[in-house]
């Protein structure tokens, strides 16, 4: 957590972004570091957690972006069985960042929390809570609230459009005999 907060402070002092830093660790060893770089890059998604997950993926998938099929066992794409009692219909999924934990200087926004789910991280440890983050001018609490509303009541218009086109490409995925679940 000290390293996550050091990264957060570094970002502020260098004018790279907001006061947010993160590290991903496995068994007490740091695998990847990241910090908010929204101001440095103009990239809205350059939050500390996203940067850190991407860095961990680069470290763990040295062959990326085109991981050879015979090397997948050594990568985040390694297949592992779903936990017992899982409602998931797919028996195996890619390991991603299982067995790792993330330490964040501030509680995650919904985008980062979603990335954490996709990454299959085991635990999230944050220093400042959402209330403290809101108090310094970063308000994402409304996003958590919006997710709880049906589509027609959300702040941003969201609607289904041309479902036939999406169905066609889903069929391409289903027809692919060697598709890799993740």
Residues interacting with Zn ion, by CB under 5 A?
47, 109, 111-112
Q: Which is nearer to Zn ion, 24 or 109 (CB)?
A: 109
Strands (E), 43-174: 79-81, 92-94, 101-106, 123-128
Per the CB < 8 A criterion, the answer to whether 101 and 125 are in contact is: yes
- The CB-of-112 to Zn ion minimum distance in angstroms stands at 3
Q: Which is nearer to Zn ion, 77 or 109 (CB)?
A: 109
Buried-state track 144-159, b at ≥16 Cβ within 10 A, e below 16: eeeeeeeeeeeeeeee
- The CB-of-139 to Zn ion minimum distance in angstroms stands at 12
- The CB-of-97 to Zn ion minimum distance in angstroms stands at 16
Q: Which is nearer to Zn ion, 60 or 109 (CB)?
A: 109
């Amino acid at each position: 957590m000290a390293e996550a907060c050091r990264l957060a402070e570094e970002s502020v002092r260098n004018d790279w972004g907001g006061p947010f830093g993160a590290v991903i660790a496995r068994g007490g060893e740091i695998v990847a570091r990241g910090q908010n770089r929204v101001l440095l890059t103009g990239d809205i998604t350059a939050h500390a957690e996203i940067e850190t997950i991407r860095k961990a993926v680069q470290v763990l998938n040295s062959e990326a972006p085109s991981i050879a099929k015979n090397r997948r066992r050594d990568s985040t794409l390694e297949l592992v069985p779903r936990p017992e009692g899982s409602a998931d219909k797919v028996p195996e999924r890619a390991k991603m960042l299982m067995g790792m934990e993330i330490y964040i200087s501030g509680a995650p926004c919904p985008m980062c929390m979603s990335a954490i789910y996709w990454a299959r991280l085991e635990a999230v440890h944050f220093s400042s809570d959402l209330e403290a983050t809101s108090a310094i001018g970063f308000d994402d609490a409304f996003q958590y609230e919006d997710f709880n509303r049906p589509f027609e009541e959300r702040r941003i218009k969201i609607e289904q459009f041309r479902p036939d086109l999406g169905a066609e490409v889903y069929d391409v995925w289903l027809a692919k005999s060697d598709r890799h679940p993740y």
